[in-house]
Amino acid sequence: MLADVVQRPDFAETEVARNRTRAVNALRVNLRQPGPLANLVLNRLAFGDAPYGTPSSGTPTSIGAITRDE
């Protein structure tokens, strides 16, 4: 049963959309805080477009682009 769930997950589009919205909202709230915002800017300045310069939590644009198939 676990193998079936792992190999053939079934995510309803409504669940994906709800979680996408939650993630974007949480990120926006977090970026209104001085500490996380400073950390984001520092990493971008220090590492540029390298993976360390990109937020692991994503951006509102990248999170919004996630589809059910991904």
Total number of domains constituting the chain:
1
- The letter for the amino acid at 35 is G
Q: What's the rounded Cα separation, in Å, for the pair 42 and 4?
A: 43
pLDDT of residue 66: 85
Average pLDDT over residues 58-66: 88
User: Is residue 3 a part of any domain in this protein?
Assistant: no
In terms of residue numbers, what domain contains 57?
10-64
User: Is residue 5 a part of any domain in this protein?
Assistant: no
Residue-wise pLDDT tens digits, 17-38? 999 999 999 999 998 999 999 9
